[in-house]
């Protein structure tokens, strides 16, 4: 099996956060297989893009995925983020 995957690291981070909204950056990095700095940058990209909301909870952050936004690439932009999350079993609104 090769080293490529169908989803980007941004998608992997979003899915990981959707599954555990209170997850720490180091745990995101470990789950996705990236550095903690890269995880921090991707989370910042997702927050700035409106795909994640970040709230401070004491010293930790909690996150909320914004499921109704469209996917970014023109090939799949007619689908919402929530559809991706549902397809991989990370849509917390579906029980």
Mind listing the domains of the chain with CATH numbers? 9-94 (1.10.10.10)
Whether the per-residue pLDDT at 21 is higher than 80: the answer is yes
User: The pTM is what?
Assistant: 0.91
Distance CA 80, CA 71 (A): 6
pLDDT band per the 50, 70, 90 thresholds, residue 33: very high
Distance CA 36, CA 42 (A): 10
Predicted local distance difference test score (pLDDT) of residue 42: 98
Q: What is the pLDDT of residues 42-93, one digit of tens each?
A: 999 999 999 999 999 899 999 999 999 999 999 999 999 999 999 999 976 5
Predicted local distance difference test score (pLDDT) of residue 95: 41
Predicted local distance difference test score (pLDDT) of residue 93: 56
Backbone torsion region of residue 6, taken as left when φ is above 0, otherwise alpha when ψ lies between -120 and 50, otherwise beta: alpha
Q: What is the pLDDT of residues 1-19, one digit of tens each?
A: 678 899 999 999 999 999 9
């Amino acid at each position: 099996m090769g080293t490529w995957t169908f989803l980007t690291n941004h998608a992997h981070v979003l899915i990981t956060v959707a599954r555990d909204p209170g997850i720490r950056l180091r745990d995101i990095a470990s789950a996705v297989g990236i550095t903690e700095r890269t995880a921090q940058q991707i989370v910042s990209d997702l927050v700035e893009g409106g795909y994640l909301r970040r709230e401070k909870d004491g010293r930790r952050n909690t996150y909320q995925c914004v499921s109704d936004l469209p996917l970014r690439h023109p090939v799949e932009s007619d689908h919402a983020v929530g559809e991706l999350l549902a397809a991989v079993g990370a849509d917390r609104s579906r029980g």
